[in-house]
Amino acid sequence: MEPVVRVVKCSLCGFVFSDTRSTQNDYDEYYASQDMYAEPNKDFSKHVSDIYEFSKEYIGSSVLDIGCGGGQLLRHLKTKGLKVHGIDTSQVCADELTKEGIPCTRGSIFSISPTEKYDLVTFVHVLEHVLDLNECVSQLSKFVDKNLYIEVPDSTRYLTYPPFQDFNIEHINHFTTGSLIRLFEMNGMRCVKSWAEKNIHSIYGDYSAICCIFTKEQNGLQRYITKSDEMFNLVLNSVPTDEPLCLYGTGQFAYKLLARLPNIKYLVDDMKCRIGKTINGITITDKIPEGVKVLKTF
C-alpha cells in the first residue's frame, strides 16, 4: 500500500474518498497481516449492546459478522441464543473464536463464496476500508437473506485532534448518511432504519458514527415494476403472434403493446377524438374488421 494519502471530492455527487494507486488485493493482504483487533476489548461492550438494541427487530435467528475482529459482537449475540458466524482476514481472530465455539472463517468479503445466507449480516466499521464499493455491496448481498447492518464513521463529525486522524492509509471512504444510503439504494437495497448521530464511547473518547439497516425487500416502486412485468408478460404470452391482430382501445397501454407485438395490424377505438389518427402507420377506425382476433386493452 502506498503511504501517500490523496483525499478527493467528487465534483458530481460530493462523495469524499482517497484517490489511491493501491488495489483491493493490496488492502486485503495488509489487513490479513494485522492482528490488532484480535484481543477482546471490554470497553466496547456498550457499543455491541447498542448494535443489538438498534437491530434486534431485524435480526431473526442467524447473524454473520463480516470483519468480526476479536468477536465482541458475536459473543454478545451468542448470549441472546442466536446462531452466529464470523469472517475476518486475520488468522489469529479466526482461530481464537473457533476455539471458543464460535465458527469463524478466515478471508475477506471478496475471497469467500457464501455457503448459506443469514437473517442479518453485520458490517461494522469495515466499509470505510474497502476500495471497490459497488463490488463489495454486490458481494454482501449474496450473504444476506433478509437484512444488513452497516456502521461507518460519520465524516461530518470528525474530531480535529489529532490533526487529520481520519485521513489515513486505512480509511478510503468518508461517508455521510446520505452517501451511505445512496450507495446501497443504487445497488438494490432499501434503508429501513438509520441512526445519523450515533456516538461510540470508549477510553479513547467519543467516536462519531452512522449506522443503517438495509433490506433486500423491494420498495413500493420496485414492487410496482416487478408486478407490472409479471402482468405484462402474462398478456404477451397469451396473445398469438403468428396472425394479424386488432387492438381495441388506443390508450397508453396500447403503445406498450404496439412496441412488443408487431402483428398488430388494426386499431379500433370508440372515442371520436382518436378516430382517424395514426399510430405506427396504422389508422384508428371505429369498426372491427371481420375475421381478425381482437385484443381489448380496457
Residue 273: per-residue pLDDT: 95
How do residues 278-295 score in pLDDT, each as one tens digit?
A: 999 999 999 999 999 999
Q: How far is CA 269 from CA 61, 239, 278, 292, in A?
A: 57, 19, 12, 15
| Calpha distance 60→81 (Å, rounded) | 11
| Calpha distance 189→138 (Å, rounded) | 10
Question: If you average pLDDT over residues 124-148, what whole number do you get?
Answer: 95
> Domain ranges in the chain?
7-217, 221-296
Residue 200: per-residue pLDDT: 83
Beta strands, E only, the chain? 7-9, 16-18, 62-66, 83-88, 104-106, 118-124, 144-153, 173-174, 190-200, 207-215, 245-248, 264-268, 278-279, 282-285, 293-296
Count of all residues that appear for the chain in the document: 298
pLDDT band, very low/low/confident/very high, at 57 (cuts 50, 70, 90): very high
Residue 3: per-residue pLDDT: 64
Residue 211: per-residue pLDDT: 96
Q: Is the pLDDT of residue 63 over 90?
A: yes
pLDDT band, very low/low/confident/very high, at 267 (cuts 50, 70, 90): very high
Q: Is the pLDDT of residue 85 over 80?
A: yes
Q: Is the pLDDT of residue 205 over 70?
A: no
How do residues 237-250 score in pLDDT, each as one tens digit?
A: 999 999 999 999 99
Domain spanning 7-217 has what CATH number? 3.40.50.150
Which of 14-28, 40-54, 105-119 has the lowest average pLDDT?
A: 40-54
